[in-house]
A and B are shown apart, each in its own frame.
Chain A
Amino acid sequence: MKEKEPKVVCFSCRFGWGYLAKEEEIAAQVKNWIPIICTGKIDTTYILNAFRQGADGVLLLGCPEGDCHYQDGNIEARKRINLLYSVLESCGIESDRLRIYLATDPEGKTIPQLVGEMSDTISRLGPLRTHRARQDDFISAKKGKENGR
């Protein structure tokens, strides 16, 4: 049963999420949690690599609109995610597997909850692994193109 639990990678902005909590405490509750200084710093290749490495879903937690310490990092990230959806879709990766949520929770109490919700949604979709080979091919082809553009 446990093996079937979806693997969700969660990136969260340090300025908006969990900065008042002990990092270990959140890490103990959320596997694959990666606090990062700004969601604007998340390259799409990080997300694609996560899927490639076996993630079933990726969740980005950014600051509320207008609150970004680096002006518009959260908005840039959201823009990037929206563009990425079409790429993922063409790989056969459902858009429910990638989500960006802009809000704030200094205590970080809702991080496990949000990851849990995402996990539930993905459970219904089933693991991504079944299409792995096809996606691998596609992503590396895409990446090759990206590097060459």
Chain B
Amino acid sequence: MWKTQSTGGARVEPAVKQFLPPCQLKCPINEDIQRTNVLMSLLPDDLESARDPIIQISEYLYDKNPFFNICGYICGLCELECNYKTRGGAIRRRLLKRFLSDVYTDYLRNKEEFNIIKDKENVAIIGGGPGGLMCAYILSKKGYKVTVFEATDRLGGALWLVPNYRLPRDVLQTTVDNLIRIAGIDVKFGFKVGEDKLTIEKLRNEGYRAIFLAKGTPYPRILTFDRKPVAGQDLSGVMYGHNLLYEVSHGNITPNYFKGKKVIVVGGGNVAFDVARTSKRLGGDVTVVCLECEDKTCKDGIPADEEEIEGAWEEGVSITYQRGVQKIIGKNGRFEAISSPKCVSVFDEHGFNPQFDCSDTVELKGDTLIITAGQSPDFAFLRKEDLLDGQGKLLVDPFTLQSLKRGYVFIGGDVRRIGFMVEAMKEGMTAADSIERFLRGLDMHEGRKRDYEAYGLPIRSAYKPEPEVVWVPPEQRMHFQIFEKGFTLQEAKDEAKRCLTCGPCLSCKACVSIGFEKSLYAVEVDEARCSGCSICTYVCNYDAAQLKHVEEKLISSTDMFKCKSCGMCVVACPSQARSLVADDTKRRIEAAIANL
């Protein structure tokens, strides 16, 4: 029967040199990707019998990452570093997780609450986005009494700005609602820290011994030209992308809001494309205007993901590359056009510093202008709380996330540095670790930094191409339902099987957990027998068998961090110098044939 055992938990052992699969290294929270891929590849063939195993695998992921089912819709960072990338296409890990999510999200509704004894200090988390909730989840599981102060009436933060056609509302709502229930986190909705008398000091006086500030970036960045704000952003018909996405997610926008209107979206990031595709779905005739050029490989390439651009293009969004906004032209208080000069360079050696050729300026007419040029934190609040330096930058240790102004305050997530959801989650994890160290009086740095190296591509005779991702055709997807098709069970199994499992056994142990192996066996080389013929280095697919000089002699050795205990070298060795320590395979075979 399909059952993982509790004994074989994956763990990453401390060592001088450590290897991880490149996907796990790329993932900011180092999810056990390989292990769960292996387990998924061994799922039963029918969905009915696969259900329990799917829940088991999901529970394993949930323990470390209570947002994994959301990652299954909107993340996929790990795929950028997959060793398969150059050999047929990265493993579609995101869709594999989405497959789990489609079963598990429903299960979450009835998942039992953790049995936690809350005997530790009170901790306040300001902001209920992925960073804040991740920190709350970890600390609550450790027995801290955690309270989340959320300014709005719902948890999830910026995740709500992801359009429903990419992340179904129900998945998000179910995940955050059950997260606080399962982990026993207290939430105060509508509490905007920084407003009225609710200050960090006050929270401290109320008995919160540590505070994690993860307020995100609640404000849109205003449009500038030549470092000065562009006039006319207050015209009727001009809005900010974030506000539009916020209102759409709250159901405040009618289905044909932009019908018959020409909409200009300014910006080249993923959010700009979310806004453009949302506006298109609201009936608009949409043009994206961005500073960057079409070629993503050049220094001024458009930052939005290729899939976003392709999706928008399919849906009929037009894109005007290498144009900026010099003036917003209005008539009688209404937006009418932008004056758009050619952008000749976006970045210089110091960073973002766009240069324009104003002799090449066009006027782009429209009914609505949506500015999506980034977002910014609540600087007024941060200044009032004295968390900034003279230049207006957060004074925070980037390694521990501890504020340099107030020791009991920790700051992370988008408020510190804008990033992907999982990067905010990582900051939540880091803050949780720091808060525990701070409250337990432990060293803030010791043992936290580890160096990892990514595993290389294992050698095999044939590699398989990636499966196609299927999108609902554009003419059928002009709504807010999810447009990307998920994997079927068989597709998920096949894709999981495609994984090269290139990481070390120590960080995986899937075979042990499912009872295929009793433990991971180390390869031992009998140096007296080894002739240094190097056949083992030739058969090893993982570059683990290597030759080394011992005194005058050349003999083989095994890098235990790379070895997968497959036994291929043992079989190949002509001098029987290699053996697997504690492996009982040979004994089992001998016993079996002795009784013939």
Contact = CB atoms under 8 A, between A and B. Distances in A.
Interface of A: 7, 9, 11, 14-15, 19-20, 22, 32, 34, 36-38, 40-43, 46, 49-50, 53-55, 65-73, 75-76, 80, 106, 146-147, 149
Nearest to A58: B593
Interface stretch (B285-293, B308-316, B332-340, B563-571): B563-571
Nearest to A40: B568
B566 A70 contact: yes
A71 B567 contact: no
B45 interface: yes
Given A20-B42, A38-B567, 17 more contacts: A7-B596, A11-B589, A15-B42, A19-B516, A20-B49, A32-B596, A34-B592, A37-B585, A41-B568, A49-B590, A53-B596, A70-B566, A71-B461, A75-B461, A76-B568, A146-B574, A147-B576
24 contacts: A9-B593, A9-B596, A15-B516, A20-B44, A34-B588, A34-B589, A36-B585, A37-B511, A37-B517, A37-B567, A38-B567, A41-B585, A42-B571, A49-B593, A50-B589, A50-B593, A53-B596, A54-B596, A71-B458, A71-B461, A71-B500, A72-B541, A76-B568, A106-B42
Contacts of B485: none
Contacts of B500: 71
Contacts of B588: 34
A80 B572 CA distance: 10
Nearest to B517: A37
B571 A40 contact: yes
Contact of B574 (A15, A49, A67, A149): A149
B570 A71 contact: no
**By DSSP majority rule, is chain A's interface helix, strand, loop, or mixed?**
loop
**By DSSP majority rule, is chain B's interface helix, strand, loop, or mixed?**
loop
B460 A53 contact: no
Q: Top 5 nearest A-B pairs by Cβ distance?
A: A71-B460, A41-B567, A70-B566, A71-B541, A54-B596
B593 A32 contact: yes
Contacts of A73: 566, 568
A20 B571 contact: no
Nearest to A67: B497
B459 interface: yes
B514 interface: yes
Given A15-B516, A106-B42, A41 B596 contact: no
Given A37-B585, A40-B566, A69-B501, A19 B514 contact: yes
A66 B464 contact: yes
Interface in B30-77: 38, 42, 44-45, 49
B462 interface: yes
A13 to B, nearest CB: 10
Nearest to B573: A43
A32 B590 CA distance: 11
B571 A43 contact: yes
Q: Which of B458, B461, B588, B592 has the most CB of A within 10 A?
A: B592
Contacts of A32: 592-593, 595-596
Nearest to B463: A66
B1 interface: yes
B515 to A, nearest CB: 9
B460 to A, nearest CB: 4
Nearest to A11: B589
B568 A106 contact: no
Interface of B: 1-2, 38, 42, 44-45, 49, 458-462, 464, 497, 500-501, 511, 514, 516-517, 539, 541, 564, 566-568, 570-571, 574, 576, 585-586, 588-590, 592-596
A46 B433 CA distance: 52
Contacts of B501: 69
Q: Which of B2, B458, B570, B589 has the most CB of A within 10 A?
A: B589
Contacts of B42: 15, 19-20, 106
A47 to B, nearest CB: 10
A34 to B, nearest CB: 5
Contact of A70 (B49, B462, B541, B570): B541
Nearest to A41: B567
Contacts of B458: 71
Contacts of A55: 593, 596
A19 B576 CA distance: 31
A34 B462 CA distance: 28
A76 to B, nearest CB: 6
Q: Which of A32, A46, A71 has the most CB of B within 10 A?
A: A71
A40 B541 CA distance: 12
Contact of B44 (A34, A42, A106): A106
Contacts of A43: 570-571
B89 to A, nearest CB: 15
A40 B464 contact: no
A9 B585 CA distance: 15
Contact of A106 (B45, B511, B594, B595): B45
A41 B517 contact: no
Q: Which of B2, B460, B501 has the most CB of A within 10 A?
A: B460
A95 B237 CA distance: 82
B513 to A, nearest CB: 13
A14 B594 CA distance: 22
Contacts of A38: 566-567
Contact of B461 (A9, A20, A72): A72
Q: Which of B38, B44, B501, B541 has the most CB of A within 10 A?
A: B541
A93 B459 CA distance: 35
Contacts of A14: 511, 516
Nearest to B565: A37
A57 to B, nearest CB: 11
Nearest to A63: B497
A65 to B, nearest CB: 7
B566 A9 contact: no
A53 B461 contact: no
Q: Which of A43, A50, A69, A75 has the most CB of B within 10 A?
A: A69
B571 to A, nearest CB: 5
A65 B461 CA distance: 9
Contacts of B539: 76
B594 A53 contact: yes
Contacts of B49: 20
A70 B568 contact: yes
A40 B567 contact: yes
B571 A41 contact: yes
Contacts of B568: 40-41, 70, 73, 76
A120 B49 CA distance: 34
Nearest to A42: B571
